[in-house]
Amino acid sequence: MSLNHRLEGRHALVTGAGSGIGAAIAVALAEAGARVTLAGRRAEPLKALADRLEPSAANPVSGFDVTDPEAIAAGLAKARAVFGPVDILVNNAGEAPTASFEKTTLEQWNHVLSVDLTGVFSVTQAVLPDLKARGNGARIINVASTAGLTGYAYVSAYVAAKHGVIGLTRALALELAKTGVTVNAVCPGFTDTPLVRRSIETIMQKTGRSEDEALKELTKHNPQGRLVMPEEVADAVLWLASPSAQSMTGQAIAIAGGEVFSG
């Protein structure tokens, strides 16, 4: 690994770290030398991930509900108590339930926006004093989606939330440009995660299609014809977290095999 990608002495906080993209990001940051707070709601997957990493590299913090300001404050206190102020924030926690627009209830709409958009706002605002104190080298990296760059049917709340995350990324990047804190988003396409695997199961149940047919439905718009791997997203996050990326800010980087192009 390039020395410019090493993160020794840096404290990274990753929300939604228990599985999928969040877990892959946490592993990549820890292997680059960062001390990583694994934040999430459930204790079991966080502990299992921590057990895979060096004991000194991982601090699992469960009960970290991004929709609850008190839970965020309590989790952040636990994170700082072990690894000190946060240098790198990765906002990854999110949900993507499916429903037609007509069948999406106001409760479902509010819940998705609360987790996927307001959660990014709340966690970032709580961590921001640490990041501004760090200055150059501090990072905010939001895990958005290609759904923030284009539209998809049957996930209107998710699409709206992820468009909001990209807008927030760009606005905050401008506000913080002179502080040395960079703010970027990564926008994965359909990625091989438990969430997408559940989507495949839903397609199979509702349509009677086979697993291969359901998988082809999700990958038909990807010119490479495959799911993105979580480690590919993690590699992009690792670069954005590195010293080499100090001039990158306000960007939304598509990791989607050419499915969409970020402008």
Quick: pLDDT tens for 15-64. Answer: 999 999 999 999 999 999 999 999 999 999 999 999 999 989 999 999 99
Query: If you average pLDDT over residues 200-222, what whole number do you get?
Result: 82
Q: Is the pLDDT score of 192 beyond 90?
A: no
Of 6-10, 46-50, 76-80, 200-204, least confident by mean pLDDT is: 200-204
How does residue 200 score in pLDDT terms, banded at 50, 70 and 90?
confident
Q: Express as a percent the part of the chain with pLDDT over 70.
A: 98
**What is the rounded average pLDDT for all residues in the chain?**
93
What is the C-alpha end-to-end distance of the chain, expressed in Å?
Answer: 29
List the catalytic residues: 158
DSSP string, the chain: --GGG--TT-EEEEETTTSHHHHHHHHHHHHTT-EEEEE-S-HHHHHHHHHHS-TTTEEEE----TT-HHHHHHHHHHHHHHH-S-SEEEE-------B-GGG--HHHHHHHHIIIIIHHHHHHHHHHHHHHHH-TT-EEEEE--GGGTS--TTBHHHHHHHHHHHHHHHHHHHHHGGGT-EEEEEEE-SBSSHHHHHHHHHHHHHH---HHHHHHHHHTT-TT-SPBPHHHHHHHHHHHHSGGGTT--S-EEEESTTS----
Q: In this predicted model, what pLDDT tens digit does every residue of 221-243 receive, in sequence order?
A: 889 988 999 999 999 999 999 99
- The torsion defined by the Cα of 102, 106, 194 and 235, in degrees rounded to 10, comes to 100
> What confidence score (pLDDT) does residue 184 get?
98
Q: In this predicted model, what pLDDT tens digit does every residue of 65-78 receive, in sequence order?
A: 999 999 999 999 99
How does residue 210 score in pLDDT terms, banded at 50, 70 and 90?
confident
How does residue 220 score in pLDDT terms, banded at 50, 70 and 90?
confident
> What confidence score (pLDDT) does residue 262 get?
72
pTM of the model: 0.93
> What confidence score (pLDDT) does residue 69 get?
97
> What confidence score (pLDDT) does residue 263 get?
61
Query: If you average pLDDT over residues 87-101, what whole number do you get?
Result: 94
Nearest to 249 by CA among 199, 178, 200, 193: 178
> What confidence score (pLDDT) does residue 34 get?
97
